C-alpha cells in the first residue's frame, strides 16, 4: 500500500475536462482555457481549505491532459493520473450566462470512460471517498466501478455521493433514476438538489426525499434548494436548515461541488451540522461569483468569524482556535 494512500485525506475519482470559456461580455472570438470536473472541483476546494485531498483519473496522453493534470495539481491537490495513449482528454466549450450557461461537450471517447482501469488500492484506506453521478453516466465500466467502491465501503460512514444529475448525459430521467438512486442509497452521505429530486424522485418534499434515500441511522442527505436553504435530512427528518448567501450570480456551474467541499471539510473538522452547512454555503458563494468553477479562496479571517457563529473549533493552522 502506498504511503500516501494511508494518510488522512479526502479522495475523489472522476473525469476532468479541459474547458474553453467564452464570456459573452468579452471579445467575440476570445476563449480562456481552464479545467473543470465535479470531483476535482471538490478536491481543489477542500485542499484550499487545508484538507489533504487526492484526485484520481485517466487522461489522454496529449497536451490538454497535461494541462488538466497541472491545473489540478497547482491548486494543492495530490494528483494520480493514468495516461491513455489511445483515448483523448475530454474537452468542453462553455458559454457563460448567469442562470443559463451553455455547455458543449467533447467527451464521447475520453480516457475517463475507463476509470475502472485505475489502481483502487490508492483509495482503500482513505478517511473519506467522494463520488458523483457524472462518473456513472460516462460508461458501463465507470458505473460498475462506483457500485464496487460503494459496496466495499458501505456502513463505514466515510463515503459521499453527489447525485449530480446532468440531463444531457442520459436518455431521460427514468434511465438516470434507475442508476443514480441505488448508488445514492449505498452511500453514507448524499448531496442532491431539489431540481434533481423532482426529476429522479418525483418530489422535493424533504420527508419524502429522506424516506427514499436514508437507509439507516447515521446516514445523511443534504437537500440543496438552489438559491435557497440547504437542509440536512436523517432518519428523524429535517435535522437543520441554513439559508444560502446572497451574492451576485455570474455562473452557477461548480457551486454544488464547492458546497460539497465546504461541508466535507467542516465535517472533517468535527463541526456541527449548522457549521457544515454554513461553510458549504460560504465556499459555494465563491464559485457563483466567477465564470470558472473555482472561486477565490476563503481567507482565515472569514473562517474564524464563521466558526464563531456556531462556536466551532478550527485547526490550529487556520487563524488559531475560534
Mean pLDDT, range 111-121, rounded to an integer:
95
Quote the pLDDT of residue 320: 44
119 is catalytic: no
C-alpha 42: how far from chain center: 4
Quote the pLDDT of residue 24: 67
Segment of 19-23, 310-314, 317-321 carrying the highest mean pLDDT: 310-314
Quote the pLDDT of residue 273: 94
Catalytically annotated residue among 257, 297, 299, 300: 257
Identify the helix (H) or strand (E) that includes residue 305.
Answer: helix 300-309
The residues, any chain, with a CB within 8 Å of residue 181's CB and separated by 6 or more, are 200, 201, 212, 213
- In this model, does residue 318 exceed pLDDT 80? no
The residues, any chain, with a CB within 8 Å of residue 24's CB and separated by 6 or more, are 95, 96, 97
Compute the mean pLDDT over every residue in the chain, rounded to the nearest whole number.
Answer: 90
Cα 228 from Cα 225, distance rounded (Å):
5
The backbone torsions φ and ψ at residue 51, rounded to the nearest 5 degrees and listed phi first, read -90, 120
Region of poorest pLDDT, from 42-51, 62-71, 245-254 = 245-254
Work out the percent of the chain whose per-residue pLDDT is above 70. Answer: 93
Write the DSSP string, 88-108. Answer: PPPEEEEE--SS--EEEEE-T
pLDDT tens digits for range 6-46: 344 899 999 999 999 886 666 767 888 999 999 999 999 99
Alpha-carbon distance values, 207 to 34, 63, 223, 235, 273 (Å): 40, 48, 11, 9, 18
The domains of the chain, with CATH numbers, are 4-13+38-88+110-309 (3.40.1190.20)
Mean pLDDT, range 274-299, rounded to an integer:
89
Q: Which comes out higher in pLDDT, residue 253 or 313?
A: 313
Quote the pLDDT of residue 25: 66
Q: Which comes out higher in pLDDT, residue 81 or 245?
A: 81
pLDDT tens digits for range 52-101: 999 999 999 999 999 999 999 999 999 999 999 999 999 999 887 767 77
pLDDT tens digits for range 187-221: 999 999 999 999 999 999 999 999 999 988 889 99
Amino acid at each position: 500500500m502506498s504511503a500516501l494512500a494511508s494518510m488522512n485525506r479526502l479522495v475523489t475519482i472522476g473525469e476532468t475536462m479541459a474547458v474553453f470559456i467564452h464570456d459573452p461580455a468579452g471579445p467575440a472570438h476570445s476563449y480562456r482555457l481552464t479545467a473543470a470536473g465535479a470531483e476535482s472541483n471538490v478536491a481543489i476546494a477542500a485542499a484550499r481549505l487545508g484538507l489533504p485531498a487526492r484526485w484520481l483519473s485517466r487522461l489522454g496522453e496529449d497536451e490538454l491532459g497535461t494541462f488538466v493534470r497541472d491545473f489540478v495539481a497547482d491548486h494543492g491537490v495530490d494528483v494520480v493520473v493514468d495516461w491513455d495513449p489511445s483515448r483523448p482528454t475530454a474537452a468542453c466549450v462553455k458559454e457563460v450566462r448567469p442562470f443559463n450557461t451553455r455547455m458543449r461537450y467533447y467527451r464521447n471517447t475520453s480516457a475517463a470512460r475507463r476509470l475502472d482501469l485505475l489502481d483502487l488500492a490508492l483509495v482503500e484506506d482513505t478517511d473519506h471517498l467522494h463520488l458523483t453521478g457524472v462518473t456513472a453516466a460516462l460508461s458501463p465500466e465507470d458505473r460498475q466501478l462506483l457500485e464496487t467502491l460503494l459496496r466495499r465501503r458501505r456502513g463505514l460512514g466515510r463515503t459521499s455521493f453527489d447525485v449530480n444529475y446532468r440531463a444531457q448525459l442520459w436518455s431521460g430521467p427514468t434511465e438516470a433514476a434507475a442508476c443514480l438512486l441505488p448508488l445514492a442509497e449505498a452511500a453514507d452521505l448524499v448531496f442532491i438538489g431539489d431540481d434533481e429530486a423532482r426529476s429522479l424522485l418525483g418530489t422535493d418534499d424533504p420527508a419524502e426525499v429522506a424516506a427514499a434515500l436514508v437507509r439507516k441511522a447515521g446516514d445523511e442527505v443534504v437537500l440543496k434548494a438552489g438559491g435557497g436553504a440547504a437542509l440536512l435530512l436523517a432518519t428523524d427528518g429535517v435535522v437543520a436548515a441554513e439559508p444560502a448567501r446572497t451574492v451576485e450570480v455570474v455562473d452557477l456551474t461548480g457551486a454544488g461541488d464547492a458546497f460539497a467541499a465546504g461541508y466535507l471539510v467542516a465535517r472533517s473538522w468535527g463541526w456541527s451540522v449548522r457549521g457544515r452547512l454554513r461553510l458549504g454555503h460560504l465556499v459555494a458563494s465563491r464559485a457563483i461569483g466567477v465564470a470558472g468553477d473555482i472561486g477565490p479562496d476563503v481567507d482565515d479571517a472569514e473562517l474564524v468569524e464563521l466558526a464563531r457563529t456556531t462556536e466551532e473549533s478550527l485547526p490550529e493552522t487556520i487563524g488559531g482556535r475560534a
